[in-house]
Amino acid sequence: MNYETALDEALGKLHDEGRYRTFIDIERSRGNFPHAVWKKPDGSEQQITVWCGNDYLGMGQHPVVLNAMHEALEATGAGSGGTRNISGTTVYHKALEAELADLHGKEAALVFTSAYIANDATLSTLPKLFPGLIIYSDALNHASMIEGVRRNGGAKRIFRHNDVAHLRELLEADDPQAPKLIAFESIYSMDGDFGPIEAICDLADEFGALTYLDEVHAVGMYGPRGGGVAERDGLLDRVDIINGTLGKAYGVHGGYISASAKMCDAVRSYAPGFIFTTSLPPVVAAGAAASVRHLKTDQALRDLHQERAKVLKMRLKALGLPIIDHGSHIVPVMVGDPVHTKAISDMLLEDFGIYVQPINYPTVPRGTERLRFTPSPVHDPKMLDGLVQAMDGLWSHCALNRQELAG
């Protein structure tokens, strides 16, 4: 086999379809987020504003987080020095897990190197703990959840997105005595819509199923203490396992699950993704714990975040741009073509210093390509004006359709 030719063909296919992904090199400016510096391939630099980041609240620049990380770095050095089982569990890891358990009103929490690994490792391990387990998974669950369900070797059922009636049909068709788990998300990141948490918990109670809720796009931002949509809706006690991230609203790195002490202990003891991975550096754990602790009391930051997202959606709608608005902080603008999506992204960056990454297949279905904006509390009104004006001009330049405003 000619391996070089095979690689050329695989990459060429992406180029031909207009969905080859390019990464730009940026340097975030400490204390100046969302501004950053774009390091261009030719060696030149350009000031840009990041509009697609997952540091939703700007906590990656917050003094509380930076101070905690500086202190931990000076006290402990760089890395953890091992897996959690072999010298890699420190006072910083335990403090972080205590903060997370408290956040979600659970007995325990377990920190992983990423939320992807937390999902994959946990969902692929649960059938070992509950032989014969059937996992019911929402059709639009994150790739990490899909991978965990796929790898576990057990039975799985896929229910149509947010379709509780279809989920009921699947539950009714299976053995009433079989162990069951329903895996779903609170906020789906591509459309920004909410999962029907209460209705799914009702079904779980009726059919004796466990619930597994991915809150990665909600922790820190929803609920009176940032415990996510389940906390906002008063449903924390009805969810068995919550997955969250430390790399989005909390602005640092890592992922976790929060559940009963026995559940966390069992996953800790059986999941290869936890057992055989070097633990987070103590400095990262310290920063994450400080961020979680701070956001339990900073409702003003959450309120401003929601306000910025609401204003951006309102102004884009007023221009007739086709946005999806389910009431969350995520602002998808639908383009529907990979070439146009990439072209608008490139022009926003090069001509206006606005960085938003195109979202193409396979992240979203073909024909639903989009630009996904994630406004934060530190995107001020002047930045918002610049974005709206640029989008208005480029939409006309590319001769894309606009929507008629109702009423």
Residue numbers annotated as active site: 248
**Number of neighbours of residue 200 by Cβ within 10 angstroms:** 25
Peptide bond into 362 cis (omega under 30): yes
Closest CA to 357 of 380, 383, 338: 338
Instruction: Judge contact between 46 and 353, C-beta under 8 A.
Output: yes
Instruction: Judge contact between 203 and 183, C-beta under 8 A.
Output: no
Give 155's strand partners: 134
Rounded to the nearest 5°, which phi and psi values hold at 221? -110, -20
Strands (E), 97-233: 108-112, 134-138, 155-159, 180-185, 187-188, 193-194, 209-214
Q: How big is the CA angle at 328 (ends 326 and 333), to the nearest 5 degrees?
A: 65
Residue 334 CA from chain centroid, whole number? 20
The secondary element (H helix, E strand) that includes residue 334 is: strand 331-334
User: Between β-strands 108-112 and 255-259, what pairing exists: parallel, antiparallel or unpaired?
Assistant: antiparallel
- Helix (H/G/I), strand (E/B), else coil: 398: coil
Alpha carbon dihedral 336, 338, 344, 349, in 10-degree steps, equals 140
